[in-house]
Amino acid sequence: MRELLQLLEQGQGDAIVQQHDQLFLVTRTSEEALRSLRTLFETGALCDILLHSANSESERVCVPVHRVVLAACVDFFANKLPQSKANAWKVNGVPDKLLRPFLAYLYTGEFDMSTVDGWKEVALFATYLGCTTLVGLCCRFVERHVTLEDVVQVFRFARKTGSLPLIQSVHAVVGRPDVFRSFADSEDFLDLDADEIAEILQEDTLSSFSEETLFDVALRWILWERDNRALVAGTVMSAVRFSCIHPGALDRVVAKAHFLRRDSSFYRQVEFAREYHNDPEGQHLNYHRNNRQTWVRGARESLVVLGGCCLTPEALVEDSVLSSEVTTLRHNRDTWTGLTKMPLSRVHGSKVRGLQFASVAVLDNFLYVAGGFHDTGDCGDHVDCTDVVMRFDPRISAWHRVRSMLSPRRHFQLVAVNGYLYALGGTVLRDPYQSVERYAPSQRRWQHVSPLTEDLDAFAAVSLAGWLMVSGGREFGMTAAVRRVQVLDPYTGGWDERCPMWTPRANHNMVATSRHIYVLGGEVQFSDDAAPFALTIVERYDPFPNQWTVVPGDTLPRLEAAAAVVNDDIYLVGGYDPAEPFVPSDSVQVYSTREQTWRPAPSMPRGLMGACACSLIIRDTDLL
């Protein structure tokens, strides 16, 4: 199979690969078939239906075509042809001059927009017939060629067609920072009606702009014809997410629209935002969580890394061994950016510089940071293990301290499952905890639940489909790592055994994608006096057959690395190479679950070990 994949990548279409002496595979078969179909279409051979335009018989354009190609490529024909035995079909909506180019496109996948007087004609009939791939080409044309002068016209045309992909493409154009700034200052923008303004301002594509800026844009539109537009101000202002405005700035922003205070719709939106900010723990309730007003603008996740230790000479001199910084790597950028800093001095005292071996979890796009140990800047001196839990809100870029855990913990696992946070195991000094505690944000309290079945250290945990899975680790007092995998049913509180991993692991990472669980990194130790051996093998768990599979390709050898899933890709961050003990690495490796390959990502600003990683949806305006 690996040989076949290599041949596919190299484009050797005539290669034949023998598999197990029985199965023979020929690559590029589909391309050869399409090429043959194209030849048959051009020569009119084996065509079994005649398509013609809607004009009179004397002016009619007729093109022979294959029914199976129509049904495979066009939704309209896929629904109509199976129930019809007609040998000819009148095609409404397709201009005469475009009928043959359109049918040729079904065989070739090529459509030259430069030969079309107006791409709008193509978009109209492609949408009407349900040819999604051709609609996609029109979307790409819009994103590449629409200018500022055409935005309003194209926006209204897209709304008229009702094509969601086309509308989204227009919003993608409008959402570009340079385009939106110019567009919002133009007279064309002021000529839009209330529904059009609201549709534009509510889109996630405007993630580069703060809600305060979008409020000012909406207010400018209202003030242009204040007497008339004040009546529809509630519709326009509903597109502004007041809950994502910092509470300290909310009153100042609202004061600009003092003349709208008697508008009931506007008043309800502002009051909802105030109630939302006044009850941080209640922000996880469905009433708040399912309200678009509380969503961060942006559709894709970003990698976030925080805490960790950097034992470099420079860090020792600068007294910054432990880190309090939170940095992010955006999905569409190739550089790291500062996001915020953990408020450690406010929580633990003015001398606290950083945090290591904490644990993080993301619940409803809130970042929770719990436990770990901190010191005064010199790793290993005056170490304090903490029970403190902090929450970062990317909506307003603010920290909030929540109820502390029942026990201080480090080297433990914090996992979000079914709206709860679970803190599993960990240590204070050297003895591992067996206890598990659960935090319910709406109840503002932690409580003990079913403990681990044994005293485990250096294990990993993750959630998938409402279950909590624990893998590997070491039993207390033992050197050897284990292969054991257990699952906690949150509803019954019982632990069940699952298929063990192929490789025993400790101090490893375990992450969940949309369909599978992956374990990567970690170590094994073959004797008490032997140095840990860093594992590079990656395993994937499929919960339905309850089976582990070794994934092709190895990671770099890393201990004390962090891992996170971002847009279904796996990121392995930092750590250190056992060949260079305690020299922190700034490397970032990415595993594509779709392509099943590893690739390097931009390095972190500095090497870290014992850091934490997760994924968050962050607005561009939140970056420092």
Radius of gyration of the chain (CA): 29
Per-residue pLDDT averaged across 198-226, rounded?
93
Rounded to the nearest 5°, which phi and psi values hold at 234?
-60, -40
CA dihedral 241, 624, 598, 545 (to 10 degrees): -40
Tell me the C-alpha to C-alpha distance, in Å, between residue 13 and each of 17, 28, 278, 521. Answer: 11, 5, 64, 37
C-alpha span between 576 and 557 (Å, rounded): 8
Element (H, E) at 318: helix 313-318
- pLDDT, tens only, 345-365: 666 665 667 788 899 999 999
Q: Do both 201 and 119 map to the same domain? A: no
In a shared domain, residues 125 and 195: no
Give the predicted TM-score (pTM) of the model. 0.84
348, 391: one domain = yes
- Residue 583: the pLDDT is 87
CATH number of the domain to which 169 belongs: 3.30.710.10
Find the domain containing 180 and state its range: 175-278
pLDDT band with cut points at 50, 70 and 90 for residue 25: low
Domain containing residue 328: CATH number? 2.120.10.80
Among 155, 174, 193, identify where a domain stops: 174
The answer to whether residue 312 is domain-embedded is yes
Residue 12 lies in a domain: no
Cα gap 143→162, rounded to integer Å: 17
Q: Averaged over 513-529, what is the pLDDT? A: 86
Placement of tokens 């990671």 in the chain: 555
d(CA 122, CA 134): 8
Q: Which secondary structure element, helix H or strand E, spans residue 41, and what is its range? A: helix 29-43
- Domain membership flag for residue 291: no
> The tokens of 250 are what?
């909310």
Q: Are residues 179 and 166 in the same domain?
A: no
State how far the Cα of 268 lies from the Cα of 237, in Å rounded to an integer: 11
| CB atoms inside a 10 Å sphere around CB 259 | 12
Domain check: are 317 and 464 in the same one?
yes
Question: pLDDT tens-digit profile of 302-325?
Answer: 999 999 888 776 766 566 678 889
Q: Is the pLDDT of residue 561 over 60?
A: yes
pLDDT at 539 over 90: yes
**CATH code, domain carrying 205:** 1.25.40.420
Residue at 359 is within a domain: yes
Q: What confidence tier does 8 reach under pLDDT thresholds 50, 70, 90? A: very low
- Consecutive H or E run containing 570: strand 569-573
What is the structure's pLDDT at 16? Answer: 43
Q: Which residues have C-beta within 8 Å of that of residue 111, sequence separation ≥ 6?
A: 101, 102, 105, 122, 134, 137
Distances (CA, A) of 205 to 198, 292, 295, 341: 13, 14, 13, 27
Q: Is the pLDDT at 192 greater than 90, yes or no?
A: yes
The per-residue pLDDT for 483 is 94
Strand intervals (E) in 86-148: 88-90
Examine the domain organization and report whether 139 and 211 are in the same domain.
Answer: no
336 within a domain of the structure (yes/no): yes
HSE of 547, CA atoms in CB hemisphere, 13 A: 5
Clarify whether residues 63 and 196 are in a common domain: no
Beta bridge partners of 374: 384
- Measure the CA–CA gap between 326 and 306, rounded to whole angstroms: 4
Virtual torsion, Cα 399, 401, 405, 410, nearest 10 deg: 40
> Residues 139, 192: one domain?
no
Domain assignment present for residue 38? The answer is: no
Q: In this predicted structure, what is the pLDDT of residue 65?
A: 94
Distances (CA, A) of 135 to 92, 140, 179: 17, 9, 23
Cα end-to-end span (Å), the chain: 47
- For residue 2, pLDDT over 90 is answered with no
**pLDDT over threshold 50, residue 9:** no
In a domain, 283, yes or no: no
Q: Are residues 355 and 423 in the same domain?
A: yes
Question: How confident is the model at residue 281, as a pLDDT?
Answer: 83
Residue 30 inside a domain? The answer is no
What pLDDT does residue 18 have? 42
Percentage of the chain modeled with pLDDT above 70: 88
Domain count along the chain: 3
**Is residue 390 predicted with pLDDT exceeding 60?**
yes
pLDDT at residue number 497: 94
Average pLDDT in the chain: 86
316 and 424: one domain? yes
Domain end among 151, 174, 197: 174
Distance CA 305, CA 310 (A): 14
Last residue of a domain, one of 159, 174, 189: 174
What is the spatial distance between Cα 505 and Cα 452, in angstroms, rounded to a whole number? Answer: 17
Tokens, residue 461: 């945990």
Question: Lowest-pLDDT range, 186-200, 487-501, 525-539, 574-588?
Answer: 525-539
What single letter denotes the amino acid at residue 3?
A: E
Is the same domain home to 272 and 319? no
Q: Are residues 224 and 164 part of one domain? A: no
CB 161 within 8 A of CB 124: yes
The Cα 232–Cα 236 span in angstroms is 7
